[in-house]
Chain A
Amino acid sequence: MSSAPGLRVEGVCFDYGGAGVLQNVRFRLAEGEFATLLGPSGCGKSTLLRLIAGLEQPLTGSVEWHGLPIEGPSIERSVVFQDYALFPWLDIRDNVALAARKAEPALKRSEARERASELLSRVGLAEAARKYPFELSGGMRQRGALARSLATGAQVLLLDEPFGALDPLNRARLQDLLLDVWQSASPRKTFLFVTHDIDEALYLGDRIIVLGAAPGHVIADRRIAFERPRPRAELFSDQRFIALREQIAGAMSAETLAVIEAAT
């Protein structure tokens, strides 16, 4: 495993209106790693992502990037939310161009638009560049949001259930697009992908971090060592994959049972 000084989450606790959301969460991500963060709804995984983005500050503990504490949002770390990532009053190209100009203020408007058009072709949205978010399907909007994240030049992409609202076919297409974007970048960017779908987590990641709920804490942290590319049909019928899936599902339901028992 590479030991590049990437992202460090150390003993993080967070609390929202008196209710514990995260408790003593710790893990490290190497630079260029594709990690998935799996957990049931309400386990604080989105909150953890917001802490890493710098949108919130931990109560105790620290979140560091390259050894420096994260004190606020930065264009170095981009977030793709489930929906509503794009500003509805700008067309897709201008949404992406806005991000490009924030990353590189010297860029002229026309140059930023040109770069936006290139990125939109990259994510398969060349035809829709001049459309507004309300004119696009959920999948197209998420392609646009991905293009915007690429336009920021961010080295860290934090993805908060970005494909959660998509139909299965679109979801699979976008997963493959995301993998292609990650694999073709040099040097590779660090991806942290939040999901509550165990298959999605295992298909995408090099590494899976599983959170338990109430309050959120790490219950498992595994390498996913399947070679890429990973054709879905082969992967999902691979005995090692099935065993890993069982293990993680087992850990999650044991955790849920323990929480229920503790409560009664």
Chain B
Amino acid sequence: MNISTISFCISEIQSTFKKISGLEKQFLEVPPPCSARIRSEAIFYKEKGGIPDFPVKTKDGRIVSSLVISDTLRNIPVVAVDYVFIKEDLLKTAKEWLNKNWEEIIRPGKEE
């Protein structure tokens, strides 16, 4: 799991929880102070396919892979975003949960 960003933002979103990933599932375990009115939505995005590989014609006429010839391209991070939006009332609880579970959340998962 590649978590690049975890943000808790103030929002008033009328929707039920969406079970999108393990992170969301963990968050559900936080006892909400106002479960009847809880409002949250999570957005998780990880770029598919990574950095594109394309052919490069070198000055001596060879054709090589861009990922072979360019250190920069090999090291461009994959775009990955994880947000959990939570109602303002629940921000304190969410922060407490985040502090408690931080180590677990950022622990790298097995590569798929």
Genuine A/B complex? no
